[in-house]
Structure 1
């Protein structure tokens, strides 16, 4: 099944009527830029490149992924917020988008005021990992090791403010242990730290870790979703292990600068839904550890409204000082 303009119009039947729809039909007339506020190789970058390929086929225009890492994701997000609201610069970001306004004094953007949500793209549980060489085979082993480790147990995460970072903070609070958090610029680099045995344990979103769990390089100690992951049925959830309320996900969302015309927002939403509905693409993403989502502008807006206060409360309870 190929993503085409006809398919997009069929998914949103009212799109082809009225002046706003006519303006959307004329869009795009040139290349589209997708800003990813992280280094290449992580789950958000993977999702953006899948989206770019689908958009390119649907719109008949080049779609370029621009990785603008740094500042815990703030540099790329702020650049997208300042872009012209014409649909030619979009943001593909992750949960750090809703975390950083509480973690940084001045992240450079407001997640509600500065952006128009288009749609959620995917969401994955985080996974608590141990290297094969660590001798850690369960969350109970991890907690026991951390309790006797002088100074705390080194733990790799994909960056300050990421949900894996905050998941480790939540585990510290729940289990009464201490980690030395080792942040990296992306999930891919955190995985490399584990592969090199630089750190014995880590927490990442599932997609970059799943191939190494299958190969035996990593042990998956627990998943932080509400249910077990279908491709890893042997890995328990933190809820099953006796940690009530211990659920965290890393999501990917597509947003435009505030003020982007609603007709263009709806056109982009329809295109994104068509990309994710294409059977081969959907199968590959699910196999890679992505749970595919949708919900359009309203669904993503609701998620942002829920998660900003959730992570703000966890940051407060963990005593994490604001940066910058």
Structure 2
């Protein structure tokens, strides 16, 4: 009975060696060979928030179009919790093979200043793919409240302290920090009720659980248009094109009050650069398509469509920016 020599190749290793040899013959590295066959199975995009929020809306838009662009299946996996840290952390520690990706919001750059410990390093654990888009935040009220402006909201909060509750998509999100800055600047108190995403926060004000909500524009937009919610002010630099009667916070007297929520596309660090480049090229092309860009604009997004360099610059700029805002808002890292 013949026994395989301990120094011999197993069947699996022989197949692997044959594949690598074939790749070398074609001038491809093993990593390049993997990229050439990508995608060989479904690609998963993790969204670190609940469904129906701006990040989820953007991710599903990208996934629906990216699948056709790369010739494969792309699915969205919502992993909400801990202000986005759960989903971001899961992605950070996934296999860097291009099959587990992340579409996240500004929480990615806010959380390093908000939490004493987070499950990812914003500079080292990810490779940027693309800067997708951004949206202003909006202050909303239940129309039955009888408040029609920021001035009236401030007056009501001062006249009846501790009466008003406000919903946000979660602690440390830019809508939460926007509301905290309003409280500081106006000298009022609103009780914060955090939710695991913009979708649940919007539902809370629609159901009457809270009277006020601070959210990114995309999930709020259809409810503003229908009249179900009253928009008091936007936190962008300019009024939104189809909400001409909604002023900016700057217009109502709050100097330099600009805060937006961005959506970024990232892969775990050490993902093959060929795959990152493919995803970046396709994602940017999707966003720059005039018809698709118009759909996003109608949903409350300002399309950015920058590649890896644009996303990296936003990370470099905004991690220290939001750390400073968290300190000014008097929020202690948890």
Instruction: Check whether TM > 0.5.
Output: yes
Instruction: For residue 29 of structure 1, report the CA deviation from its aligned partner.
Output: 2.0
Match of residue 86, structure 1, among 97, 117, 120? 97
- 1:174 has 2:173 as partner: no
Does structure 1 residue 44 correspond to structure 2 residue 60?
Answer: no
Unmatched 5+ stretches in structure 1 = 1-17
Q: Distance in 2 between matches of 1:213 and 1:204?
A: 12
What is the alpha-carbon distance in structure 2 between the residues aligned to residue 280 and residue 294 of structure 1? Answer: 14
Deviation at residue 280 of structure 1 after TM alignment:
3.1
Q: Tell me, what secondary structure is at the counterpart of 1:293?
A: strand
| Distance in 2, Cα, partners of 1:205 & 1:134 | 21
Aligned residues: 306
Q: Kindly report which structure 2 residues correspond to 1:122-137, keeping only aligned pairs within 5 A, or say none.
A: 122-137=133-148
Pair 1:222-2:253 in alignment? no
- Structure number with bigger Rg: 2
Query: Which residue matches 1:308?
Result: 319
Q: Any runs of at least 4 consecutive aligned residues in structure 1 with deviations exceeding 3 A, and if so which?
A: 18-26
Secondary structure at 1:280's aligned position in 2? helix
Once the two structures are TM-superposed, the CA of residue 22 in structure 1 deviates from its matched residue by 6.0
Residue-by-residue CA offset, 1:47-104 (whole Å, 9 max, x unaligned): 1111111121112211111111111110110000001111111000000111111111
**2:45 counterpart residue number:** 34
- Using the TM superposition, give the Cα deviation of residue 25 of structure 1 relative to its aligned residue in structure 2, in angstroms: 4.1
Q: Which residue of 2 aligns with 1:238?
A: 249
What is the CA-CA distance between 1:306 and the residue it aligns to? 1.2
In 1, the alpha carbon distance for the partners of 2:195 and 2:173 equals 10
Residue in structure 1 matching 2:215, options 179, 204, 215: 204
Any idea what the Cα deviations from partners look like across 1:218-263, whole Å, max 9, x if unmatched?
Answer: 1111110011111111111111111111000011000001111222
Shift of residue 266, structure 1, vs aligned partner: 1.1
- CA drift of 1:282 comes to 1.9
Q: Secondary structure at the match of 2:88?
A: helix
Residues 182-220 of structure 1: CA deviation (Å, up to 9, x unaligned): 111111111111111221111100011111111111111
TM-score by length of 1: 0.91
Change in Cα spacing, 1:292 to 1:19, as seen in structure 2 (3 Å) is farther
Cross-structure match for 1:142: 153
Matched, 1:159 2:170: yes
Partner of 1:11: none
Which secondary structure state, in structure 2, belongs to the residue aligned with residue 252 of structure 1?
Answer: strand
TM-score, normalized by length of structure 2? 0.88
In structure 2, the residue matched to 1:273 is 284
Which deviates further from its counterpart, 186-195 or 151-160?
151-160
Give 5+ residue unaligned stretches, structure 2: 1-26
- Of 177, 189, 194, which aligns to 2:200? 189
**Whole-Å Cα distance in 1 between the matches of residues 246 and 228 of structure 2?**
15
* Alpha-carbon offset, residue 278 of structure 1: 3.0
